[in-house]
Amino acid sequence: MRDSSEGGRLDSFDLAILDILQKDNGTPQRVIGEKVNLSSAAVHRRIRRMQEEGVIVGNYAVVDPLRVGLPFTVVVEVHVESERLDLLDAAKRSFAGDPQVQQCYYVTGEADFVLIVTVPSMSAYEALTRRLFFGNNNVKKFRTLVVMDRIKTGLAVTLDDA
């Protein structure tokens, strides 16, 4: 196994293709080819290579939480008691394994974890706090920030040339 940045570097074609796919991965390869001045076959090969190399992590449809009965988004800061590795790992698994936890970050600074949570109701959030926080001895405290406006929500990333 090679190092973690396996695979060759990305050229400007790759970046241009990624730029398009990040906005709409349903864009036909033919259209992408026209925009970046490449044949559709070349586009196809590059996309496949980037998938294999892990540059492209996945291809997802994004659903509006409001339309599927999940009107509440909550940001939670979690503080732990001990930073023992096994306890941190247990917490990570517990947070990541919960289907209502959309995102989970382990952070330095004034908190230890930041979670983005999507729930159908505030009582469901309360249940989640019991499940994940009160049910975990290693959680010292947590701060709840209720989202009033989801101003920007993508996972897209800026792609300037290196």
Query: Which residues of this chain interact with DNA, rule CB under 7 A?
Result: 8, 13, 28-31, 37-42, 44-48
Strand partners, 114: 77, 105
Which of 66, 90, 122, 127 forms a contact with a second copy (CB under 8 A)?
66
The reply on whether position 54 binds a second copy by CB under 8 A is: yes
| Interaction between residue 8 and a second copy (CB under 8 A) | no
Tokens of residue 139, six digits: 């959680």
What is the closest distance, in whole angstroms, from the C-beta atom of residue 27 to DNA in the complex?
A: 7
- Tell me the two tokens of residue 23: 């906005």
Distance CA 127, CA 147 (A): 18
Residue tagged 């979670």 (tokens): 115
Residue 127 interacts with a second copy (CB under 8 A): yes or no: no
**Cα 139 to Cα 18: distance, rounded to the nearest angstrom:** 39
Q: Decide: is 153 part of the binding site for a second copy (CB under 8 A).
A: yes
Contact (CB, 8 A) for 100 and 126 = no
- 103 binding a second copy? (CB under 8 A): yes
Which two structure tokens, joined as six digits, stand for 34? 């026209």
Closer CB to DNA, 13 or 106, in the complex: 13
Distance separating alpha carbons of residues 24 and 61, to the nearest angstrom: 10
146 forms part of the interface with a second copy (CB under 8 A): yes
Binding site for a second copy (CB under 8 A): 4-5, 7, 10, 15, 18, 21-26, 53-70, 73, 75, 77, 92, 95-96, 99-111, 114, 118, 143-159, 162
